[in-house]
A = this chain, B = another copy of it.
């Protein structure tokens, strides 16, 4: 048996690390990803890094062109809007399906995920922003729980990828929209328990569009 309890390959764990570093803004948009440098920073070989960067490239988090190496994908208002729109499309559809299929297990997941998120939102509201990553993780888990009864693994995976791209914009803008977002999360939970599709869709649209406008107001982006 391996000593590493996680049973993960080096490539896998480094992949997660780099991915998180991009999403949470520790590797800024447009930054050149030189293999020699990364090799030192992440203590891996060049080949392994290339595997990882190629993977991130096909997720749209890393740009790679011809023989000129890799860099963190750039950001633009247009891309943010496209990302948000696609998230809305996927999440709305999955939400509607979940409202139809959800059973008691689903409701329990919802309540649990919302409880954790609400607790973290209290912490954030008190001005303690040191746990922003945990907060976003709970946000992620709540939205994932909302659509977890949609019945399509493919839809959930695709949504997750788009969500993470969207999340990066939120983190870059470092925007805490605390009270408004928390209220919307509560209302989303209520609508879900009532299976009120119409309200659920409207809330979600407002939630996402609100996030976009907030981020843009906080950190205007030029296109390109």
Contacts and interface: CB of A to CB of B under 8 A. Distances in A.
Contact of A60 (B54, B79, B154): B154
Contacts of A60: 154, 157
A206 interface: no
A59 B67 CA distance: 23
A79 B154 contact: yes
Contacts of A153: 82
Nearest to A12: B66
Contact of A158 (B7, B79, B86): B86
A157 to B, nearest CB: 8
Contacts of A86: 152, 154-155, 158
Nearest to A53: B51
B50 A82 contact: no
A170 interface: no
Interface residues of A, number: 29
A93 interface: yes
Contact of A155 (B66, B82, B93, B152): B82
A85 interface: yes
A34 interface: no
A79 to B, nearest CB: 7
Interface in A54-89: 54-55, 57-60, 66-67, 79, 82-83, 85-86, 89
A141 B162 CA distance: 24
A9 interface: yes
A60 B160 CA distance: 14
Given A50-B47, A86-B158, A67 B152 contact: no
Nearest to A153: B82
A85 B151 CA distance: 11
Given A47-B47, A47-B50, A55-B55, A67 B9 contact: yes
22 contacts: A7-B66, A9-B66, A9-B67, A47-B47, A50-B51, A51-B51, A51-B54, A54-B54, A54-B55, A55-B55, A55-B57, A55-B58, A79-B154, A82-B154, A85-B152, A85-B155, A86-B152, A86-B154, A89-B89, A89-B90, A154-B162, A158-B162
